Amino acid sequence: FRFPLRPIWAETLLATVTCAIILGAVWLANSYPWPVGIVNRYAAANNITVPEGGLFIAHGIAIPVLMAVAVGLIMTFVTKRTRFGRYVFAIGGNPEAANLAGINTRWITMKVFMIMGVLATIAAAISSARQNSSTNALGTLDELLVIAAAVIGGTSLAGGSGTVLGAMLGALLMQSLQSGMVLLGVDSPLQSIVVGAVLVVAVWLDTL
């Protein structure tokens, strides 16, 4: 159909850069060993002999990270390559126009809430596994971080635009900011103020 095609050198370069990034991330994740105390306890619990120079056990890539990547790829495919994803963006951009175009907006909205319930369940399971406990207050006030991450990642609060990758990068930025404040010893109320300020600035930039 004479569609414009990307040149072969661009495809090769893109594949090479992508593979290099993946291999670099795996190499970096396996370059840091476990702390000595944890290694000794692990070796004692599993009857492993610790050599004189110490036992090197790499951190590796955490299972929640792999789960996040898998969920991100699946949701990217859903939003970019399926009719349902196009309907979601159409409803987000203009619900009335989408309804007049024949889209069942109520059913699509119900599906969106169902998917969000599944994603929230996955997030709750990961958080409970990390803390080895669970309470009914788990994730309280995390919605502020989620909104800030989505807006920073390029999602418009008015609807109709945004990407899964952008939201994940925004979440990475917000988590890095929060972890940095914890390491600096910033009080919890001040952390919420900083996150709120970041959200206000992001919303202001979105309205420009």
**Which stretch of DSSP H or E encloses residue 106?**
helix 105-131
Beta bridge partners of 33: 58
Contacts of 95-100 with CB under 8 Å at 24 or more apart are: none
Structure tokens at 86: 């196009």
Compute CA 99 distance to the chain's CA centroid, rounded to the nearest angstrom.
31
Q: What's the confidence (pLDDT) of residue 91? A: 92
Q: What's the confidence (pLDDT) of residue 42? A: 83
From CA 150, how far away is CA 163, in angstroms rounded? Answer: 9
Beta bridge partners of 58: 33
Query: Helix and strand tally (H, E) in the chain?
Result: 9, 0
What values do phi and psi take at 14, rounded to 5?
Answer: -65, -45
From CA 116, how far away is CA 108, in angstroms rounded? Answer: 12
Q: What's the confidence (pLDDT) of residue 200? A: 85
Angle, CA 36 vertex, CA 44 and CA 186 arms, to 5°: 125
Read off the pTM: 0.75
Structure tokens at 199: 């959200």
What lies within 8 Å, CB to CB, of 58 at 6+ separation is 29, 30, 31, 32, 33, 34
Q: Cα dihedral angle (192, 122, 65, 196), rounded to 10 degrees?
A: -10
Mean pLDDT by 10 residues, the chain (208 residues): 80 91 84 81 83 78 86 92 92 90 92 93 87 79 82 83 88 86 86 84 78
What b-and-e string marks burial along 86-112, b requiring 16 or more CB atoms within 10 Å of the CB? ebbebbbeeeeebeeeebeeeebeeee
From CA 113, how far away is CA 77, in angstroms rounded? Answer: 18
Q: What's the confidence (pLDDT) of residue 1? A: 62
